[in-house]
Amino acid sequence: MKQPRFLLLEEVLRIHAHQIERYGGSFGVRDAGLLLSAVAAPQASFAGGFLHGTPCEMAAAYLFHLARNHPFLDGNKRAALAAALVFLELNDVSIDAPDEEL
């Protein structure tokens, strides 16, 4: 597997802002430490390899940790799903499913 293109903190903040602009809710970070932890989670490694070994597992880590850590004032689950999908797109992984199934 080639080196994954991970999301930057600034990108996750933009993804969240876009979700709030599009669907409504409150802007802002509730806990910066939890946000940093969630953004770093997919990059976790052990013994020279990633803990999340595939791009899909890494995307799932973004989804899980952003939703679970609840770092934003509002829109955490929306931002989590959008971040996971952006990560997959950046890494040339496509999901063959209708939008309503996502």
Instruction: Determine the pLDDT at residue 46.
Output: 92
In a domain, 22, yes or no: yes
Q: Which domain holds residue 73?
A: 9-27+35-94
Span 26-39, pLDDT tens digits: 999 999 999 999 99
Instruction: Determine the pLDDT at residue 96.
Output: 86
Domain at 39, CATH number: 1.20.120.1870
In a domain, 55, yes or no: yes
In a domain, 85, yes or no: yes
pTM for this model (two decimals): 0.91
In a domain, 100, yes or no: no
Whether residue 2 contacts residue 78, with contact meaning beta carbons closer than 8 Å, is answered with: no
Whether residue 80 contacts residue 67, with contact meaning beta carbons closer than 8 Å, is answered with: yes
**pLDDT lower than 50: segments of the chain:** none
In a domain, 44, yes or no: yes
- Structurally, the chain folds into a number of domains equal to 1
In a domain, 2, yes or no: no
In a domain, 60, yes or no: yes
In a domain, 19, yes or no: yes
Three-state DSSP string of the chain: CCCCCCCCHHHHHHHHHHHHHHHCCCCCECCHHHHHHHHHHHHCEECCEECCCCHHHHHHHHHHHHHHHCCECCCHHHHHHHHHHHHHHHCCCCCCCCHHHC
Instruction: Determine the pLDDT at residue 97.
Output: 83
